[in-house]
Homo-oligomer: A and B are copies of this chain.
């Protein structure tokens, strides 16, 4: 039933169904009528209809134009905009505009703003200046949210509450005195006693022993690196403090408008980002994500696919919404690349292929003024007679053509990649053996290698069940959450295959090293013990006797029960094991100690996939991205050709886009997308 979706939000008494925000796939974007004279609005809705826009995000930054002075409201323009959209059949995701506190509020209460680690308070002029720990801000924000909900809660255009905007994007990490009090309360709730905190963080080092929670400050500017345990907990606190603001708004909205679903837009691509979105996801009715490609990355579509799989993982496999991406250039990169012909459609459909039930753009009409005047939109400065508008119009047609796919879900993969925000946060918290390895590097490289072979993956939080997987990858999963080692062991004993890489299972939940040899959490499973890390400098490389090349990382590894698959052939560690595999029950546990280059990673993936018998989604030429969505009685194969050459896939069915019927072989033109309703199999 794709006209409804089910919320599992934690504040509901149980799963609950809400109407979908659009018929078929959602198409549209952020709409800011307040930036334009009302005569332009008429052209806007006409163009929206022409392009098939059915969903807009409205009012994202409009607080100051609605509450024009303390407690004084002016709803007129928004009333008219809501009515106009409704008249034209366009649904509204109405934002609580708390991302943009009014100037009068910032003037009256500058203390609501975040303070950085040097004690500098954020001034006005950006957005999201507020600290989530400011009681004053909370009071003003909730008063406005209530007024907004009361005014528009029963407006027929309203489909979804869009709480604030990219919470944490500019207000991550506050170090103010008010925040310090919230932090101390959070710590007291987490640890119970100050002795427990001292023990967890290892405060005996450098004499950081506390005798009261009131002594613990945020990690303000010191002249050295702070305690890694403190840093990690400050990341957790920050995520929780920001989520706390969302929860406070949600409570008001749920009370006033119990029948309207509620979400907030995530930024999953941020690496590693300030919010533990997997945890946040449990509080929204629908996961909604913002995604922007990095123009300088020639493989940006691979990053997009991984982010989309992460979003689906955060949504626990259920459909989700791409609530912001761009039609073309953004304005915040050093050089803001225009998208290539067809790229906006490929980007949109790649998200949909991986579970999104819509693709909205920031923004509808490009601003003439303001900080984002050069951020692309659906209607560029040049107007609707333009490549971009025409491409969106064409996308609208495609989305209508593939409407049958809406409501289906992505076929569950047999391969899981364990990925965890806490682990990422731990890796950035404190001095580490190297700064040359980013938390996302290996997971993304593995995902690319899989995608190149047409193999699907689920990105899952370690604590989640591994049922249904044949192969589980554990790439640089630095922090070992409680129970994960046991879970992996059970999985392998039952016949599953596991790959654990270097820099996995190094620290516990408190960011303390698990002693006895790395990887502390998994060394029994793997039958290995790492004595010492041998990170490589940029430009350095080491060969393995398998022919692979390590470029970032090596280790002094001992096999203690595992079979040695490859040894180091050059460098300090020549002769020592590099890759091992232990038989575990009916399964296996492979350990990778070396930071391999792309070719080495591809070989390893090929080997593991063969070992575990994981099949590709379909047999496709390299360069085609392939995924499958399934409904109760249908399956849909998405084939996206990211290359400049025509390619082929071995599949059969009807291309919903072109209407063509394929039998056995599907040709996918350069840059094109085929959505095949598959012949019954």
Contact = CB atoms under 8 A, between A and B. Distances in A.
Interface of A: 32, 34-35, 61-65, 68-69, 97, 99-104, 107, 114, 117-129, 170-171, 200-211, 214-215, 217, 219-230, 295-296, 328-329, 331-332, 334-338, 340-341, 366-374, 376, 380-383, 386-388, 430-436, 510-518, 520, 529-538, 556, 572
Nearest to A123: B220
A209 B67 CA distance: 11
Contacts of A295: 537
Contact of A296 (B69, B202, B537): B537
A125 B530 contact: no
A537 B103 contact: no
Contact of A371 (B103, B431, B435): B431
Contacts of A123: 117, 217, 219-222
Copies in the complex: 3
22 contacts: A64-B208, A65-B204, A68-B209, A99-B207, A103-B208, A126-B223, A126-B224, A170-B223, A201-B370, A202-B373, A205-B371, A208-B370, A227-B370, A228-B369, A329-B433, A335-B436, A336-B433, A338-B556, A366-B513, A369-B513, A374-B432, A387-B556
A457 to B, nearest CB: 30
Contact of A335 (B209, B515, B537): B537
Nearest to A129: B222
Contacts of A101: 207
Contact of A511 (B121, B226, B331, B369): B369
A125 B329 contact: no
A594 to B, nearest CB: 14
A653 to B, nearest CB: 32
B537 A226 contact: no
A120 B383 CA distance: 45
Contact of A431 (B129, B374, B513, B536): B374
Contact of A225 (B122, B208, B371, B516): B371
Nearest 10 pairs of A and B residues by beta carbon: A202-B369, A205-B370, A100-B207, A126-B222, A123-B220, A126-B224, A382-B517, A61-B207, A170-B223, A64-B209
Contacts of A388: 531-532
A224 B170 contact: yes
Contacts of A517: 381-383
A201 B369 contact: yes
A54 to B, nearest CB: 25
Contact of A535 (B215, B225, B229, B335): B335
Contact of A206 (B107, B127, B332, B520): B127
B368 A215 contact: no
Contacts of A529: 382
